[in-house]
A and B are shown apart, each in its own frame.
Chain A
Amino acid sequence: MNNILLDSTINYTKEGIYKLILDKDTTINIKNYNIKIYLVTKNNIKITLNVLNSTTIYNITEDCVKVDINIYNNAKLDFYEMTVTDRKITNEVNIYHQNKETISNITCHGISYGNGDLKFIINGYIKKGMINSVCNQSSRIINLDKGKSSIKPNLFIDEFDSTSNHSAYTGPFDDKLLFYLETKGISKREAFNLLLKGFLKIEILPKDYEKILDDILDKVVRR
């Protein structure tokens, strides 16, 4: 992982895969195609993403984070947030469709364990005139131990000719998932670990990035 601590604005003009650990407020401008960004955010920061070309962005965090996303130029953004916490934190994501025919798919998965209190606030904005824009949100939080959580999915849509969807779930793992794995001879503990990792690793991740998530999940598994 690259540690970026210098400039508060980063411009991506070349295609490629970028991995960053961010611990201060940062603006990221995506100015080319075929860019994938793997973020780890720390220290309750604010990230601004200006998406001028289609891209996929991942973020792992154990802290509060506010992400403002502006989508331009018919771009499509796939954004994945993976949060694990045993503290009271809020993850806020604001998606602004700044041009017509822009697409956002926002997926936020979280684990609230111990005495955790995790809040997702996901706001999607489609202004009038942003025709054929698509704003999708899917948020899920699994509560373990005494962990609490809440999700506030908001869609602020002022354009009839657009599409928006949201889904949200907070609660424990469904018993039938554990039962299924146990019927294969997998112990409850191992079945639980499989579900935990499967839940957070929404997509196939690069090995070094996955390792960061594994290290965080180990804290949950060993608790």
Chain B
Amino acid sequence: MFRIDKLNVKIKDTDKEILKDFSLTINNGEIHAIMGPNGVGKSTLSKAIMHHPDYVIENGTITYNGKTLNDLTTDEVARSGIYLLMQDPTVIEGVATSEALRTALKERGNDVNLFSFIRDMKKELESLNLPKDVMNRSINKGLSGGEKKKNEVLGLTVLKPSFIILDELDSGLDVDSLKIVANNINKYLEDNKDTSVLIITHYSRILDLIKPNYVHEMYDGKIIKTGDISLAKEIEKKGFTGVNEVEMSDIHE
């Protein structure tokens, strides 16, 4: 079980509070989606979970399978089974994707045979419709926005996490690429039934492909509404709650 309890997060060296008493519980095997307009703290949430150096946890706890994550380092959080699929994956010149992933496996005590590692990578690259030389290229270098996301999904299938955070998965992906990526994630979830997913998104289209058990609407650093997929459809139709209120007051004026 992944649990966030009354989490308060600030931007480092400022008084700007982004997450305010944020709470969320995700049971094993559940898929949750968080929707909200720009600037409400959705991406901060994913970074705070991974202990991004730009953010500071002021209060509250994050626990995963009974273990408190607050005092862990980023790599320890990742090795506890959490995988962040970034909104804008970083380009790292000189470090090959295969080298990084193999190091990541070694760090997990899983020093795989090079032959089987390459064989598995090639298989995954093929299913993601990525060129085979991507594994030997510098991480995400020269890849389009969509290919970068696919490359991140490649990392997911190799590292086999039990909790996945998809931060704006659909940004930069065309319709076909989104389907390929979603299919690969769904296949992973089928093969790993206990895996939980936190989807962070503006739009409901990704939720048509990776179906959530719960949808939360976020505003001003906390969850203000929870429902099922119908909440996402309602948001898609009527807009976000806070935004609607502003629009309505504008109309009244």
A184 touches B78 (CB 8 A): yes
- Asked if A181 CB lies within 8 Å of chain B CBs, one says yes
Q: Which stretch of B58-66, B95-103, B177-185, B201-209 is in the interface?
A: B95-103
Q: Are A185 and B78 in contact (CB under 8 A)?
A: yes
In residues 60-83 of chain B, which contact A (Cβ within 8 Å)?
73-75, 78-79, 83
Q: Which residues of B contact A182 (CB under 8 A)?
A: 73-75, 78
Say whether A33 faces chain B, with CB atoms less than 8 Å apart.
Answer: no
Which of B101, B104, B155 has the most chain A CB atoms closer than 10 A to its own CB? B104
Q: Do A177 and B94 touch (CB < 8 A)?
A: no
From B73, B101, B138, give the contact of A184 (CB < 8 A). B101
How many A-B contacts at CB < 8 Å in the complex? 74
CA distance A197 to B75 in the complex (A): 20
- The answer to whether A188 touches B103, judged by C-beta atoms less than 8 angstroms apart, is no
Cβ of B53 under 8 Å from chain A: yes
Would A187 and B86 be within 8 Å (CB), given that A181-B92, A198-B138, A202-B94 are in contact? no
A220 to B139 alpha-carbon distance, docked (Å): 23
In chain B, positions 92-118 with a C-beta closer than 8 Å to chain A are 92-95, 99-101, 103-104, 107-108
Task: Give min CB distance, A211 to chain B, whole Å.
Answer: 17
Contact among B83, B92, B93 with A180 in the assembled complex (CB-CB below 8 Å): B92
Is A188 in contact with B75, judged by CB distance below 8 angstroms?
yes
Residue from A181, A195, A199 having most chain B Cβ neighbours under 10 A:
A181
Give Cα A181 to B73, complex, Å.
12
B75–A187 CB distance below 8 A: yes
Let me know if B35 is at the binding interface, CB within 8 A: no
Nearest-neighbor residue (CB-CB) of A197 within chain B: B94
CB of A198 within 8 A of CB of B75, answer: no
Count class of interface residues, chain B: 20 to 34
User: Which residues from 81 to 108 on chain A have a C-beta closer than 8 Å to any C-beta of chain B?
Assistant: none
A195 and B107 form a contact (CB under 8 A): no
Collect the chain B residues with CB atoms within 8 Å of residue A201's CB.
94
Contact A186 B94 (CB under 8 A): no
The answer to whether A185 touches B107, judged by C-beta atoms less than 8 angstroms apart, is: yes
Contact B104–A186 (Cβ < 8 Å) = yes
User: Are A188 and B100 within 8 A (Cβ)?
Assistant: no
- Cβ-defined contact, B90 with A185, below 8 A: no
Q: Across the two chains, which residue of chain A brings its CB closest to B47?
A: A179
Asked if B94 contacts A185 (CB within 8 A), the reply is no
For A180, A194, A202, the residue with the greatest tally of chain B CB atoms inside 10 Å of its CB is A180
CB distance from B202 to the nearest CB of A (A): 22
Q: Are A175 and B100 in contact (CB under 8 A)?
A: no
Partner of B92, one of A190, A198, A200: A198
Partner of A198, one of B89, B93, B155: B93
The residues in A between 146 and 183 inclusive whose CB is less than 8 angstroms from any CB of B are: 175-177, 179-183
Say whether A185 contacts B92, CB under 8 Å. Answer: no
Contacts of B89 in A (CB 8 A): 180
- Residues on the A chain within 8 Å of B101, using CB: 184
Contact between B104 and A180 (Cβ–Cβ < 8 Å)? no
Q: Are A183 and B84 in contact (CB under 8 A)?
A: yes
* B197, CB-defined interface residue at 8 Å: no
Listed from nearest, the 9 A-B pairs whose CB atoms lie closest are: A198-B94, A185-B78, A182-B74, A198-B95, A180-B90, A185-B79, A184-B104, A182-B75, A185-B104
